[in-house]
Structures are given as structure tokens and as C-alpha cells.
Structure 1
């Protein structure tokens, strides 16, 4: 597979390393014979390929992202592939400073200022904003089919009822905005005290910003109030920040529920630690 992709891109590779923590595509960090570092990304599906391709076009010049050096639309066997430049640095960590948290807020808000392009016809990135409530319900009930096999009957029914109760309390959606849907530390690259940019666009949509704070809060902001405050300041310097306390409980709950379904789909044994983390979160909401 890799030989085929390398041939399509016309590159000669000195070394290859598979990138960890990539869940919707296969990603390789490659050192070329000329010493340059590039990334080869092969999405799992044609839809994920199309979303990513459209995202590079939409975000270019507005948000700091890797440069799309080349792409291949694939064939009957492969959904497609991308050749990407390197964003210098490493994924965001919990040891980040308030200065970095501020920059993450700026980056996130800048992405949320991007609106659906009136002049482009998109076939991969859907605009879910006009029917946002339906979209959220569809995502939840899609994963519910898998969650039902994991939870006992009483807990599962309790979770369904909780979803319906919490959904009624949501404020008016904020958008339509470009939303990443997987905005978490692994997809935010930092270099020393500077945010280099954001990566991975297989799940992007146009929709309400309210869903896009969930994973960042889960994996980064909730660990330190100072980071949370700095992030809010950075975000608010670009666009108004919604009342996170009004939406985060609902999306933390649905994220835990959906993540349990994701673990069932991808393999419970392989994702046992992540499954247990989300089971703990879900039970806290249902107590």
C-alpha cells in the first residue's frame, strides 16, 4: 500500500514511522532522501478523504494547518491519500503554560469564525447547523446501537432518558461555524511556547460551536483552572465565547456515551482503558 502511495506522490523515502493516536486514518511520518520531513495520511473511507480535502481548501490562509503538498484521489482499492508538510513541534500536553492555553483559544476561535462558503459546492463537509438538534440526536442514537451491547438494561435506559432530559435544556445553537469535532491535545501542535497549528480533519462539519469544546475540556482544560481561564481569554479575543457551563454537561455526557459505543465498534479489549474511563464518567452523570 505504501509503495503504491509513494509512487503516486513521486517521493523517495529514507525512513518511515507510523504515527500513534490516529483513529480515523493511517498516518506515517516520513523522512525523505533530501532530509525533508513529510506526513503521508491514508483515511479509512472516501468520505473522510473528501472532508479532509475540502478542509484544507477552506481553512488555507485563515487557520494555521499543514500545507497540502499533494493528494491522490485513490481507486477501487484505496480511498485516497495526502502528502502533508510538517507542523513543527509536538502535541499539546498538560504541562502547557497559560500562554499556550491562550493561543489555543485564539486558534479555536479563529477556526470557529469560518463560515460555510457560499461559492463552493461541498460533497464531504456537511452543514448540520440548520438541523443541529437532529444531528446531535442522530449521532447519539447511532452509537446507542453499540452501547446497548455494553451496558446493562437498566443503565442503558437511564442513559437514554438522561439524554432526552438534558437536550431540552440546551441554549440556541451558536453558528454556523467550522467545527473540528475532534479538537483535542493530540491534534493541536505546539513548538516551545508557540502553537504551530491544528491537524486532522476527517470528522469536520459546519454546525454549532457548542460541541467543539468537549474533548478539549475533557483532556486539557478541566485539569487546571488557570489554563481554562487563559483559554477563555484567548478565545474571547477573537469572537464571543458561549456559556460553556450551560452546554458542557450535556456534551460531556454524550461524549462519554458515544465513546463507549466507539470502543465497542473498534474493539473492547484493545480500547479497555478508554472504555473504563468513559464508563466512570457516564455513571457519575447517572448517579
Structure 2
């Protein structure tokens, strides 16, 4: 499939390396004959291809993203593919400076400032804001069928009770806003003390901002209060920040629970490390 994709995109390469840490698409770093690097991305489904294609149209000129050099709509074997420019730098790490954390906050708030309009109305990017709590509940119980099969029955029952208890305390949703839905360090590219931009838009949608902080907090913000404060300062320089203490516990819980279900679907043994990480989070929240 990759050979055909490269041909359709008109790419001639000196070297190809598969990119790790990509879970809903196949991504390849390609060195071209002129020495430049580009990325070829093949989403797992047609829906993800279409969603990412429309996201690039919405985000272009508003936030820093890779340039889409070419795209192919695919065929019966391939759902589609993108040829993307390289953002200078490497994924965000815990060694980032406060200045970088501030810029991450600015970037995130800028995304959230994008609202659905007639101009950016999309066929593939859903707007769940008006029915937000039902959306969260549907997603939770969808994964619950998988979670039930791999965790202790008592832990499962306590999780269901905890969900019903915590959702009653949620504040009014904030939005409608453009949500990345996978805003985590691996998708935020940093060059020294500058944020180069953000990648990976196959899961985006419009909805309430409250869901979009969870992964960044889990993988970056929770480890350093200074970085967390700088992130918040950056975010607030663009738009008001919701009460994180009021929403983070609920979304940390649902993210851990749903991630366990995701591991079951993608293979519990293959994703054992991520599964155990989320089981630990779930048990800690349940006490």
C-alpha cells in the first residue's frame, strides 16, 4: 500500500522510517531526493481521512500546523493519504521551559477560540456541544462493554457508580469550541524555546473545552506546578480558562476508563503498559 501511496502523492524518497507513537494511522518520515524531510500519513479509516482533511482547511492561517503538500482520496484498499511538511523541532518533553509551557497555553486557547460557523461547517467534524453530557455518557458506556471484559467486576461496578456520581457535579459546558481531542506532548512540536506547532487532527470535533485538557495534564502539566502555572497564564492571555479543579477529576476518570476499553479493542497484550497505567489511575481515583 505504501508504494502505491507514494506513487499517487508523487513522492520519490531516499529513506523511509515508520513513526512511533501513532495509534490511529500509519505515519512515515520520508527523506526526499533533495534532502528535505516530509511525512506521509495514512489514516486507518475513511472517516479519519476526511476529518483530518477538513481540519486542515479550518485551521490553515489560524494556528501553526504542517503544510499539506498533497493528498490522495484513496481507493478500495487505502482510505486516503496525506503528504505533510515537517515542523521544525521535536515533541514536547518534561524538560520544557516555562516559556514553552506559556506558548502551549496560547496555542491551546487559540484552537479553542475557533467556533463552528457557516463558513467552516463540516460534514465529518461533528458538533456535539448542544448535547454535550449525552455525548460524554454515550462514549463512556460504549467503552464500558469492553472494560467489563477485562477488569474485576467489583471495580467495574464502582466505576459505573462513580461516573454517575461525578457527572452530576460538572459545570455548564464551555464552548462550542474546536477540540483537538488528543492534545498531548507527542502532538506538540517544540524547537528549543519555541513551539513550532501542532499535528494530528483525525479525532477533532466541536464541543466543550473541558474534555481537551486531560491528556496534556496527565502527560505534562501534573509533574511541575511552575509549568502548569505558565500554561494557564498563556491560555488566559487568549481566552478565559474554565475551573480546572471542577472538571479535571471527572475527565481523568473517564479518560482512564475509556483508555482501558481502547486497550481491549486494540489488543490488551500489545498495549499492556498503557492498560496498566490507566488501571492504576482508575484505582487511585476510586480510592
Residue of structure 2 equivalent to 1:201? 201
Residue of structure 1 equivalent to 2:72? 72
Deviation at 1:119, TM superposition (A): 2.3
Deviation by residue 1:13-59 (Cα, 9 ceiling, x = unmatched): 11001000000000000001111210000000011101100000000
Residue of structure 2 equivalent to 1:261? 261
> What are the equivalent positions in structure 2 for 1:181-196 lying under 5 Å apart?
181-196=181-196
Q: Distance in 2 between matches of 1:169 and 1:85?
A: 43
Deviation at 1:120, TM superposition (A): 4.0
Q: Distance in 2 between matches of 1:46 and 1:145?
A: 25
Deviation at 1:117, TM superposition (A): 2.6
The TM-score with structure 1 as length reference comes to: 0.99
Residue of structure 1 equivalent to 2:158? 158
Gaps of 5+ in 2: none
1:217 aligns with 2:217: yes
Residue of structure 1 equivalent to 2:24? 24
Q: Distance in 2 between matches of 1:248 and 1:121?
A: 29
Q: Distance in 2 between matches of 1:85 and 1:58?
A: 17
Deviation at 1:9, TM superposition (A): 1.1
Q: Distance in 2 between matches of 1:155 and 1:11?
A: 51
Residue of structure 2 equivalent to 1:234? 234
3-state SS of paired residue (2:234): helix
The TM-score with structure 2 as length reference comes to: 0.99
Q: Distance in 2 between matches of 1:275 and 1:190?
A: 28
Could you list the runs of 4 or more consecutive aligned residues of structure 1 that deviate by over 3 angstroms after TM superposition? none
Q: Residue 109 of structure 2 contacts residue 239 of structure 2 at CA under 8 Å; is this kept in 1?
A: yes
Q: Residue 159 of structure 2 contacts residue 286 of structure 2 at CA under 8 Å; is this kept in 1?
A: yes
Residue of structure 2 equivalent to 1:168? 168
Deviation at 1:124, TM superposition (A): 1.1
Q: Distance in 1 between matches of 2:67 and 2:130?
A: 31
Residue of structure 2 equivalent to 1:144? 144
3-state SS of paired residue (1:14): strand
Residue of structure 2 equivalent to 1:118? 118
Deviation at 1:273, TM superposition (A): 1.0
Deviation at 1:135, TM superposition (A): 0.7
3-state SS of paired residue (1:158): helix
Deviation by residue 1:224-267 (Cα, 9 ceiling, x = unmatched): 00000000000000000000000000000000000111111111
Gaps of 5+ in 1: none
Q: Distance in 2 between matches of 1:52 and 1:227?
A: 30
Residue of structure 2 equivalent to 1:179? 179
Q: Distance in 2 between matches of 1:210 and 1:121?
A: 22
Deviation at 1:103, TM superposition (A): 0.4
Q: CA RMSD in A?
A: 0.7
Q: Distance in 2 between matches of 1:72 and 1:130?
A: 33
Deviation at 1:7, TM superposition (A): 0.8
Aligned residues: 287
Residue of structure 1 equivalent to 2:50? 50
Q: Distance in 1 between matches of 2:174 and 2:24?
A: 27
Deviation at 1:121, TM superposition (A): 4.0
